[in-house]
Amino acid sequence: MTLRLRKNVAPATAPNRCPIGACMELLGGAWTPNVIWHLQGGARRFSELQTYMAPISAKVLSQRLKELEAKHVVRREVLDTKPPSVEYSLTDLGRELVPAIEAIAHVGYKLKQQGAAVSAAEPARECSLAEY
């Protein structure tokens, strides 16, 4: 007996572009959600972001900021100071991503709580990196 295919009730997407895939492609880079998270409170200089996001390297942070600027998520502003300094802030598109990242963080918090509850119920044991 073969199972019949159920009707898909999810909203239709554009022919060659899944909106979920487009958003996940944007957020998929390492540290990308963290950059958006830390910029939600306002403009930050590079060194401030690097401090908040330790242990991110300067190279990776620089790459992420350039990528997000190219995708119109982050705005880079050179300030007229001596010496010149640069501030990064979220664009309107970047601010639209904050609730999605907050929702992901909320689920992550729940997963960590569940993991802590499961870990507390299991007997303590040593683990090694070989297990991962």
* Residue environment code for 89-102, b if the CB has 16+ CB neighbours within 10 A, otherwise e: bbbeebeebeeebe
- How many angstroms separate the Cα of 22 from the Cα of each of 52, 71, 117? 27, 11, 35
pLDDT attached to residue 127: 36
Residue 88 β-bridge partners: 44, 76
pLDDT attached to residue 93: 95
Cβ-based neighbours of 40, under 8 Å, separated by 6 or more:
90, 95, 98
Question: Is a pLDDT exceeding 70 seen at residue 71?
Answer: yes
CA gap 26, 64 in Å, rounded:
11
Domains of the chain: 19-118 (1.10.10.10)
pLDDT in tens, 23-59: 888 888 889 999 999 999 999 999 999 999 999 999 9
Closest to 39 measured CA to CA, from 82, 101, 103: 101
Query: Does pTM surpass 0.75?
Result: no
Question: Is a pLDDT exceeding 90 seen at residue 76?
Answer: yes
Question: Is a pLDDT exceeding 60 seen at residue 132?
Answer: no
Helices (H), 29-86: 32-39, 46-52, 58-70
